Amino acid sequence: MSSEAVPYIIAPMRADDIPQVLTIEHLSFPTPWSAQGYEQELRNTLATYWVLRPVPPRAWGGVVRQPPPVIGYTGYWLIADEQHISTIAVHPRWRRRHLGEWLLLHAIADGTARGATLVTLEVRLDNEAAQALYRKYGFEVVGQRKRYYRDGMDALLMTLFRADSPEVQERLAMRRQQVARELARHTFTPAMFASGPHSSEEGARDEDREQPPSE
């Protein structure tokens, strides 16, 4: 199934998306980033950020506001051939819909298309659900950073090696098709659009994003 059948769109993050991004940010992470931080990231030539929006059915006409609300986002740095995923989050009311996974797939596909050969990310030691998701895609734990997050929690450093290899790309493409089929079955109600962003999956998080990864 093509991604065109998926009732969601992923588009580059813009400055006017930041207020909605911050709403999700504060609901998803114990130490949220600031508006100024996101503004800085959007000016960072090494960084790429995306937002996720639901697409209302055409039959609704003008029932919902345009554009639809931001319900998730992801971002990464690309330095030489290393892609570092800095954040993934989905609004809590859109959780358990495979949307965090869809964002991860998009980020990896975009990074490898631009020359990444390995993908890295940090994940909280206590976020077992996110760790399980990354392991499913072939990420391996390669280190642990003590008290990495501002609340004192350790971070696991996970890496997907040979991300551009035919084997990995085939595995990711197959999973993308599976997730697309799941997403194509999603249904919406006007109420889900009326009050702004709705459900979320917490994911990778780099708390100290002021400096890009040094390696």
Mention every residue, 6+ apart, whose C-beta is less than 8 A from residue 149.
Answer: 30, 31, 124, 155, 205, 207
**134 catalytic residue (yes or no):** yes
Asked if 49 and 12 count as a contact pair (C-beta separation under 8 A), the reply is: yes
Count, residues in the chain: 215
Q: Which of 25, 41, 122, 201 is catalytic?
A: 122
Hey, where are the domains in the chain?
A: 3-194
Q: Which of 8, 38, 49, 134 is catalytic?
A: 134
Question: What is the reported pTM?
Answer: 0.84
Written as six digits, the tokens of 201 are: 């999956």
Distance separating alpha carbons of residues 183 and 165, to the nearest angstrom: 26
Q: Which tens digits make up the pLDDT trace of 36-61?
A: 999 999 999 999 999 999 987 765 55
Tell me the CATH number for domain 3-194.
3.40.630.30
Q: Which tens digits make up the pLDDT trace of 98-129?
A: 999 999 999 999 999 999 999 999 998 988 98
**122 catalytic residue (yes or no):** yes
